[in-house]
Amino acid sequence: MENFQSHHGFSRTFKENKLTLGLIFPLEAYLGSFPTMDLDAQMKLAKKVEELGFAALFVRDSPLYDPNFGDVGGLYDPWMFLTYVAAHTDKIALGTSSIVTTLRHPLHTAKSAASLDIMSFQRFLFGAATGDRPIEFPAFKVNHNEKAALFRESIKVMKKVWKESFPQIQTESVDLTQGDIVPKPGLSDIPVFGTGYSGQSIEWLAQHTDGWLFYAQEVKGQRELIKKWQEAAGGFKPFAQAVSIDLSERPNEAPKPMSTGFRSGHKFLIDYLYAYQGAGVNHMMFSLKYGRRPAEEVIQELGEYVLPHFPTITM
């Protein structure tokens, strides 16, 4: 992890025994599959999130819209959208949760990631995943049964081409004997975060990735999982999770469960976050999709009342 202490996005977002807060695009509540995701409105809110002092903003990747799956995800291409966000912000970390690496050639993905990391002045946090929408694999002529192997290949290939000049790489998808991938990221590496298990063991993820993005679960189970993760890593590697919130106007409102999260007032939310910080979670990403209030209102309240308990890391 020492390699990433000078990486602006990583050092702003992750520190052992500390929890920071971020949000997931689209920064809006919406019904059904499609957000509005108006670019002017999203950039206005992104700037507000940065000004309030949140650590990071994340965007989802959904290569195809699957009506049977429901939510379309991030709507725009994640590389282009995050580059646009980078041009409208200055300091906030910018992450993917997560790029479906199994459906992209690893050399193309490596170039896109390196370009974004440079253009954002080392603010990019690269969440990577195998993909979970069944219709995508036949559409891209990718064997669903090979997605775990393709995930391993993508991580190894990208890490090698970021670090080495004119590397020789022979894998199932790559036969690189001439030429090079440029530009190289400034640190000759980019922080990569596996998503869920991605078909791998904890040990493989701990050895080959730089952090773990996981799903919300009850605090006891998360604490036990994080303990296994840190043991496999042989030291500190960040653990992040996402949660959907519907923030009530009433600060003391008790929690009510909902899809992938809960509705509550901000006082319960603060207690919830302290519990997960105690369990070892280093970053919490809020999704506002299921909210009942305007996103700007919720972001302002989070910034005023919740964020001061979990400040962004300053170096």
Residue ranges of the chain whose pLDDT lies below 70: 1-2, 315
Taking only Cα atoms into account, the Rg of the chain, rounded to an integer number of angstroms, comes to 19
Whether the upstream peptide bond of residue 183 has omega within 30° of 0, thus cis, is: yes
State residue 2's pLDDT score: 66
State residue 32's pLDDT score: 86
Encoded amino acid at 215, one letter: Y
Could you tell me whether strands 175-176 and 169-170 are parallel, antiparallel, or unpaired per DSSP bridges?
A: antiparallel
State residue 3's pLDDT score: 79
State residue 1's pLDDT score: 61
Encoded amino acid at 3, one letter: N
CATH domain 2-309 topology: TIM Barrel (3.20.20)
The answer to whether residues 69 and 133 touch, using CB atoms and an 8 Å cutoff, is yes
Residue 153 in tokens? 């290949």
Residue 161 in tokens? 């081409």
pLDDT tens string 95-114: 999 999 999 999 999 999 99
Encoded amino acid at 100, one letter: V
What does pTM read for this prediction? 0.97
